[in-house]
Amino acid sequence: MTTNAATDPMIGRMIDHRYRVRSRIARGGMATVYLATDVRLERRVAIKIMHGHLADDQAFRERFIQEARSAARLSHPNLVGVYDQGAEDDTAYIVMEYIPGITLRDLLQEHHALTPEQATDILRAVLAGLASAHRAGIVHRDLKPENVLLADDGRIKLGDFGLARASTQNTATGAALLGTIAYLSPELVTRGAADSRSDIYALGIMLYEMLTGEQPYKGEQPMQIAYQHANDTVPAPSAAVPGVPPELDDLVAWSTARNPDDRPRDAREMLDHMAGNQQRATGQYRTAVLRPENATAILPAGAGTPASADSGDATTILEPAAAQQPAARPGRNTPGPRRTGSQPGALSPAGQRLADKSAKRRKRGWIVLAIVVFLAIVGGTIGWALGPGPWGNVRIPEVAGKSISQARQLLEAQGLHTAKATSTRFDAVVAKGQVSTTKPAAKREVRKGTSVQIVVSNGPKMIALPAIVGQPISTVTAALDDDFQLQDDQYQFSADAPKDTVVAATGLGTDGTTVDLSKVETYGERGPVTLTVSLGPVPDVVGKNVDQATAALDAVDLTLGSQDARFDDDVPEGQIISAKAQDDPAVKGTAIDVVVSKGPTPITLPDVHGKTINEATSTLDNLGLKVVVPDCTNILCGFYDWKSSLPVSSTDPVAGTTVHRGDTITLAYEQ
């Protein structure tokens, strides 16, 4: 891919005062590779520059630097060399050896499949480079045709150690599987762990693809391909392409064994095995340049046996006896060609032998031409009969996921016969009632007219579910992991469930709807399961001030939301009266809205002057105020209800003063 400065600002830029960027070679997920000139050493290099939007991500920067460190530790003719690594203006880069040519992926797209000789030559070169990495304790983890470079001068090199890790370190990938799904080993799919045997598995898949032109596993979703890696056996290449030597079938089977212990332990063991096979097979895979049978040999004088009529097919140029004497200029007295006998035009014995040989060769040439034409006609006839003709082979098409009628149409269109009776099997990927596979399997080459049986999916095998809701997440995960596909856990706050216990479990029904797994007894094998785990209750912030509430919520990844204020006669000013989550149920990041107390409600003291003591007391009691009335000291007060008769003359505090519920008001009156 080419570009210019108008579309890529890196074109023409000088990096680190040394590398002049010339053009763009390729662009990937983490970085872009450019062709550049090292102005200091005056050589072309490839410079890999991390994408700008990833520069602030520490994890990506560390992975990018790891690639340079991993590759720089290695030196091998079949590995791309790393010259330099650095950063400028937040731009991280790696300087590498520039390899003009194509990738193995380009070669496969152009030729579809390779010959056994080509495939083994490429595999041998990749294994040699990979053996150097394995010997240094480095696992590549991203082997695929895109990372195998075929130089214009015939060199084969392995590059892109962007996912490499030291094999002595923990190579588990966690929740995210790194690498290309089509080449992931079963242990990477199921456990997320990789070692040198994982690289061997990827090489086995690459060898199958080189020999057949296709990857062994296909699917519309990555999970379908991953499931096949974990549960199926890679078929023999000869089943798809007749003529593949059995030694290569065995090599694919050995390197792609599902159990890592059944594979070569590293690239060196696999390379040594290939070398041993080649010696035993007397060069079966080696392309040799043979000397032509009818070669022309120029023999110097005295270097061999003199030519005779029985010297075979090799043409021998004999030096004339006159070569020992000075050459004479032709003239009137110079003799012409030496002739023997008295017959006109007779040749010398040596000349006659040359003439006889030429005639014999011309005759042989016509015979060879006739044989070639005859063989071409016969070969063409046989090729037509075995190809589009009645004796031809066809490849069984992929019909998984189709309806039965669609599958029959596709099979019969290839000249195959479909058996009337169908069989069934459990299938965790293909929906019930659709075609699961065929017998023989898809991609097999068979003779036209072969009977093919359609195998219909019964849907996934139903498996009894253990107790889930209310159980610890560790217990539930261990019980479900072998039979189902556990998705990323979801978390929520719950007042009813302790922290780290499962509060809900959901799956997918055959119609794609969500299924509450706590309400069913069985569920389909390998079906997706999403567990919802309790984070415990939302912290109680009622009675706390705003700062205390903020700290309590931050500790569990919640945030303080809106803050309303209101008067409250029971909650002191500044304390939280109530709290409510904006989401129900609350999850991490949910905002908690609160109501903060402004203290007791203010009251303007009414004017009760002139009202009787009882009337004034009733008015003030209704406002939540406490009333104090001094005792009457007049002797007459004992003879009548003086509180119902005597008027209030004043209050303390005076009318119009701001008071609050519970405050005390003293009434004055004239005795």
pLDDT band at 154; cut points 50, 70, 90: confident
Sign of CA dihedral 657, 662, 668, 669: positive
| CA neighbor of 448 nearest in space, from 519, 391, 385, 526 | 391
**In this predicted model, which residue has the larger pLDDT, 481 or 345?**
481
Q: Find the mean pLDDT for residues 441-453.
A: 89
| CA neighbor of 207 nearest in space, from 126, 149, 151, 278 | 126
Bridge partners, residue 23, by sequence: 35
pLDDT band at 279; cut points 50, 70, 90: low
Residue type, 231: N
pTM: 0.43
Bridge partners, residue 225, by sequence: none
Please report, for the chain, how many H helices and E strands are present, in that order: 14, 32
At residue 357, the pLDDT reads 52
At residue 431, the pLDDT reads 85
Active-site residue list:
142
**Phi, psi (degrees; rounded to nearest 5) at 97:** -65, 135
Give the rounded percent of residues in the chain with a pLDDT score beyond 90: 53
pLDDT band at 384; cut points 50, 70, 90: low
Q: CA–CA separation, 629 vs 637, rounded Å?
A: 14
Instruction: Give the count of beta carbons closer than 10 Å to the beta carbon of residue 181.
Output: 17
Distances (CA, A) of 73 to 20, 50, 382: 26, 21, 55
Longest dimension (CA), the chain: 193
Residue 561 near residue 594 (C-beta atoms within 8 A): yes
Q: Find the mean pLDDT for residues 4-18.
A: 79
Is the model's pLDDT at 285 over the cut of 70?
A: no
Residue 495 near residue 584 (C-beta atoms within 8 A): no
Q: CA–CA separation, 258 vs 229, rounded Å?
A: 8
Q: CA–CA separation, 336 vs 345, rounded Å?
A: 11
Q: Which helix (H) or strand (E) holds 478?
A: helix 473-480
Residue 219 near residue 119 (C-beta atoms within 8 A): no
One DSSP character per residue, 88-126 reads: ETTEEEEEEE---EEEHHHHHHHHSS--HHHHHHHHHHH
**Phi, psi (degrees; rounded to nearest 5) at 132:** -65, -40
**For the chain, what percentages of helix, strand and coil (3-state, to nearest 5) are there?**
30, 25, 45
Question: Worst-scoring range by mean pLDDT, 26-30, 209-213, 216-220, 597-601?
Answer: 26-30
Peptide bond into 585 cis (omega under 30): yes
**In this predicted model, which residue has the larger pLDDT, 488 or 367?**
488
At residue 592, the pLDDT reads 96
At residue 385, the pLDDT reads 58
| CA neighbor of 140 nearest in space, from 93, 73, 55, 86 | 73
Give the rounded percent of residues in the chain with a pLDDT score beyond 70: 81
| CA neighbor of 295 nearest in space, from 281, 274, 315 | 315
DSSP 134: H
Q: Find the mean pLDDT for residues 592-620.
A: 94
